[in-house]
Amino acid sequence: MNDTWKLGDRTLRSRIIVGTGKYASLDETRAALAASGAEIVTVALRRIDLASKQPTVLDAIDRAKYILLPNTAGCYTADEAIRTLHLARELGMDDLVKLEVIGDPKTLFPDNTATVEAARRLVKEGFKVLPYCSDDLITCKRLEEAGCLAVMPLAAPIGSGLGIRNPHNIRLIIDNVGVPVIVDAGVGTASDAAVAMELGCTAVLMNTGIAGAKKPVLMAEAMRLGIDAGRKAFLAGRMPRRDYANASSPTAGLIE
Amino acid sequence: MGPRSPLGRTHPGHTVVGSRPMSTSIDVVINGQPRSVEEGTTVSVLLAELGFGDRRVAVERNREIVPRAQHATTALVAGDHLELVTFVGGGL
């Protein structure tokens, strides 16, 4: 089945985007990325450690195989996020960026107003923006109007693993925006990823759901399969829900 | 005793990057840490002496990006605030 999707002018096969944080080692990072089947992986930008020169995450990522997606994790204002992405561009990144403007340290919920403002400015500068946002249709519409390539509503708080808390909202967003909808944050296990895809999401972005599992590499594979199963179920079109039983064996011809 | 700055203050505990006898050092702040560097040190020389000459590092000087092409020609000035950043593992 040739089931690709478009992100701007790129054509992608994989519907899982994975983060590169929280792994025990660079070897584990490398193995989990491979098992997930991801084509896009996210990275964060931080000060270099002046005291010790450790191998960096870039040593674990084959740039020929993966598209790097720099994020603005930890930024609380539009200005900080934009400053961070200017530095990412200086590091030789393409213009594809993951915009996050956090509004509160406890929930890590996004500041949607600041996110929309930052998105407008970044799009004007030529960035291709993938914004993390609340599962709120109007915010997603504003982000689409701002020129974002996709919208990335959260399923649940970042790192919570609580799954899709409001599938109805995600559904409304899918039905009412024209750009790809990528669920970003909150996916805890393979069935959560499958649910996102069954709802009709284009892709899912996750990090802790894989890195926080007891066996991250095995979970990366499970997530890939969950995404695949959910996508195929969406394309197949599920049967209607019924309140009462409906026998699947013939009711005629019963022995007496 | 720490290195002597052009202003004559001593700075015990500062790390001297690129100091040679008889050279003048200047005080700068690198990733939030006060440091002394030899006057005339360029961004390229600084990165090399910190051990990051072979790494891709983005440099901000007083909140302005110093493009990679200008690392070799940009000399640090006393009081400069530098941010040296690179990519780390991260998701959301």
ipTM of the complex: 0.84
DSSP label at A219?
Answer: H
pLDDT of residue A56: 81
Is pLDDT at A253 greater than 60 in this prediction? yes
Tokens of A193: 């990823």
CA atoms within a 13 Å half-sphere pointing along the CA-CB vector of A201: 33
CA A165, A171, A174, A177 dihedral sign is: negative
Q: Count Cα atoms within 13 angstroms, Cβ side, for A22.
A: 19
- The span from the CA of A215 to the CA of A193, in Å, is 17
Residue A106 a catalytic site member: no
State chain A's mean pLDDT as an integer: 95
- Structure token pair of residue A47: 């000060």
Nearest CA in chain B to A90: B58
CA angle B81, B85, B91 (to 5 degrees): 140
B86–A56 CB contact, under 8 Å: yes
pTM of this prediction? Answer: 0.88
Higher pLDDT among residues A62 and A152, named by residue? A152
Q: Which residue, A204, A209, A207, is CA-closest to A183?
A: A204
On whether any CB of chain B is under 8 Å from the CB of A211, the answer is yes
* Chain B residues touching residue A92 (CB < 8 angstroms): 56
CB contact under 8 A, A22 and B67: no
The DSSP secondary-structure symbol of A242 reads -
Q: How confident is the model at residue A93 (pLDDT cuts 50, 70, 90)?
A: confident
CB A147 within 8 A of CB A95: no
User: In tens digits, what is the pLDDT along chain B, a chain of 92 residues?
Assistant: 334 333 334 444 455 555 555 679 999 999 999 999 999 999 999 999 998 888 889 999 999 999 999 999 999 999 999 999 999 888 87
- Structure confidence by residue, pLDDT tens digits, A28-57: 999 999 999 999 999 999 999 988 777 888
Percent of chain A exceeding pLDDT 90 equals 90
Name A34's Cβ contacts closer than 8 Å, sequence gap at least 6: A220
* % of chain A exceeding 70 in pLDDT: 100
Cβ B86–A45 below 8 Å, yes or no? yes
Please state the rounded mean pLDDT for residues A148-155: 97
Q: What is the pLDDT confidence band of residue A60, given thresholds at 50, 70 and 90?
A: confident
Q: Cβ of B88 and A45 within 8 Å? A: yes
Amino acid at A160: S
* Angle subtended at Cα A200 by Cα A156 and Cα B89, rounded to the nearest 5 degrees: 45
Residue ranges of chain B whose CB lies within 8 Å of a chain A CB: 30-33, 50-52, 55-60, 63, 65, 67-68, 83-92
Note the pLDDT of residue A51: 84
Q: What is the pLDDT of residue A52?
A: 76
Predicted confidence at residue B91, as pLDDT, reads 80
pLDDT tens readout for residues A223-249 = 999 999 999 999 999 999 999 999 999
Residues in chain B within 8 Å Cβ distance of A115: none
Mode of pairing for the β-strands spanning B81-89 and B58-61: antiparallel
* Cα-to-chain-centroid distance, residue B53: 13
User: What is the model's pLDDT at position B14?
Assistant: 52
